Structure 1
Amino acid sequence: MGIVPLLRFTMEFFSIGEIIGGHESKPHSRPYMAFVTFINKDGKKHRCGAFLVREDFLLTALEKKAELNGAVKVLDLPWNKGRMRPGMTCTVTGWGSNHTGKYPNTLQEVDLTVRKDKECKNFKYYNSPTQICAGDPKETKASFQGDSGGPLVCGKVAQGIVSYGNPDGTNPRVYTRISSFLSWIKKTMNAHEY
C-alpha cells in the first residue's frame, strides 16, 4: 500500500480484467473501483486497480477530483480500527488476470475467507500487525496479477489492499491491513485537501 504523490496517474473508470475463480461484477455495483495506468521511470506501462476513498483520493494523489454520482462513489475506510477475525468473508474486486494471463473486459469479484495469521507465516515478509491473511488454500478463488491495489471489502468497509501471494495464484494471499495505517492515511489526505 502506498501514497506516492511523485507518480502521476491516469484514472479511468471502466471495466477490464479477471480474478481467479470469481465472477463478473454486476454493472455499477462497485462504484468505488478505479483502473490506474502509469508509466514508471523505466518507461514501462503498469496497470493496477485502486479504490476511491474520497473524491480526490485513491490512496495516492490524483490529478483531479472524481465526479461523484450514481456510478462513482467512495468506499469507507475502517476508521473505528475494527479487528479482522479469521472466518470472516470479504470480497476482492479487481482487473487482474486469471491463470491464462488474459484480461476480459469486465470487472471481476471473488469472496474470500480471512485466515489465521499463522497460515501466511511462510511468506518471508508477512507481518500480522500490518497485513491480513485471506483465501482458503482448498479453493481456486483468489486475487492475482493485476489486482494489486484493489480493496479487500468486509461489510462495506475497505479493510485491506491486495498486496502479494504465491506466483501461481494459490491461497492464502496477503493484503495490507488498512487500519494499521489510518493515521498516516488521514495525515496524507489532509495534506492534499483542496
Structure 2
Amino acid sequence: MFLLCKVASLTLVAVLTLCGEVPAERIIGGHEVLKHSRPYMVLLERKLANGGTAHCGGFLVSADFVLTAAHCQAESYKVFLGLHSYHHLKRVQQLFVEKQFPHENYDDCLHINDIMLLKLNSSANITENVKPIALADNNNCSVCSVSGWGRTKINGSLSVILMEVNVTLIDYQKCVEMGMYCSSGEAGPAKGDSGGPLVCEDEKVHGVVSQNYKPNKNALRISMYTKIVDNRDWIDAIMKK
C-alpha cells in the first residue's frame, strides 16, 4: 500500500534509525477489501519538493476534509475518493488540496503528533462509494483493522487494490510513553499505508497509521498509531474554522 513519510518511507527495518522509528510501509498478511465497503478510504498522490511522486493513505472525515499523517506532507496532492483498484482511476472522484494543516507540535524525528488535516479544494460528492467516517471519542478499542494500498510483501510492489488486515492493540511501554496505540507482528501496515485509519469494533477511527519500530533485529515489528481521541479538540477546531 502506498505510504511514504516526509523523510523516509514507512519501511520494515531490522535496526533502528537515528530517531528510533520509521514511517509505516505496507499492509502485510492481509486480504482484499470487499469492493467499496470502506467508502471513507482515500488515496493521496503526493508531489514532492524534488519533483518526485509518492503516495499515502488517508480517510474522509467530512465532505471537505481528509485526515492523514503529518509525515505525508507534500508540495501538492491529488486526492482519489471511492477508489478500489488503482487501474480504475478514471472511475473515481479526483480532487485537490486547498490547504494542509499538519499538527503544530508534530515531531518529524520521533513522529509524535503525527496527524494532519487536508482541506479539499471543493466538497466531495457524498455517494454510496464516498462517505466520511466517524471519529472516536473514547479509548475503548482492542481489536481493529487497517486498510491501504501499500506493499503486501517486504520487497514487493505497491498493491493495486485496497487491502485490509486485522490487528490487536497491545500494551507496550514505548507506546505508552509516546501516547500512541500499538500492535505487533509481521501482519500489519507498511509502505504506502501511512495516514490510513485504525478502525475498531465501534466502526469509528481510533488512530492514524504512523510508523513501524523494531526493538532489535529478532523482535516482532511494532506498528504505531496516532490517537484520535487525544487530538479531537485540535481536529474540531480546524474544521470549525
- Residue 166 of structure 1 and its aligned partner are, at CA, apart by 3.0
Under a length normalisation based on structure 1, what TM-score does the superposition of the two structures give?
0.76
Q: Which has the higher contact order (CA 8 A, sep 6+)?
A: 2
Deviations, residues 61-102 of structure 1 (Å, cap 9, x unaligned): 112211111111111001x3x1145xx110000111121231
1:127 maps to 178
Q: Identify the match of residue 122 of structure 2 among 51, 57, 64.
A: 64
How many residues are treated as equivalent by the alignment? 162
CA contact (8 A) 2:44 2:57 kept: yes
The structure richer in strand per residue is 2
Equivalents in 2 of 1:189, 1:42: separation in Å?
30
Answer whether contact 1:120 1:172 (CA < 8 A) is retained: no
**Cα offset for 1:18?**
6.2
- State how far apart, in whole Å, the 2-side matches of 1:52 and 1:40 are: 22
For 1:27 and 1:110, the matched residues in 2 are separated by: 15
For each residue in 1:131-151, what CA deviation from the matched residue of structure 2 results, as whole angstroms up to 9, or x when unmatched? 11123x3xx311001100000
Q: Pick one of 26, 40, 44 that aligns with 1:32.
A: 40
Question: Cα distance, 1:40 vs. partner?
Answer: 2.0
Aligned twin of 1:183: 233
List structure 1 runs of 4+ shifted beyond 2 angstroms. none
For structure 1, list consecutive stretches of 5 or more residues without a partner in the other structure: 1-16
Q: Mean alpha-carbon deviation: is it higher for 144-153 or for 40-49? A: 40-49
The offset of 1:104, in angstroms, is: 2.8
Question: SS in structure 2 opposite 1:71?
Answer: coil
Partner amino acid for 1:151?
P
Q: Provide Cα deviations, 1:46-67, integer angstroms capped at 9, x if missing partner.
A: 2111100001110211122111
The two structures have a TM-score, normalised by structure 2, of 0.62
Partner of 1:94: 148
**CA shift in 2, pair 1:116/1:18, >3 Å:** closer
Aligned equivalents of 1:51, 1:44: Cα separation in 2? 23
Identity %, equivalent residues: 35
Summarize the Cα distance change of 1:18–1:171 in structure 2 as closer, same or farther, 3 Å threshold.
Answer: closer
1:5-34 superposed Cα distances (whole Å, 9 cap, x missing partner): xxxxxxxxxxxx962000000001100001
Equivalent residue for 1:11?
Answer: none
Which amino acid is the alignment partner of residue 127 of structure 1? M
The residue number in structure 2 matching 1:151 is 197
Cα RMSD of the aligned pairs, angstroms, is: 2.2
Letter in 2 for 1:179: V
Whether contact under 8 Å (2:26, 2:188) holds in the other structure is no
Whether the 8 Å contact between 1:36 and 1:47 is mirrored in structure 2 is yes
| Cα displacement string for residues 119-169 of structure 1 (whole angstroms, at most 9, x for unaligned residues) | 647xxxx612xx11123x3xx31100110000000121000000001379x
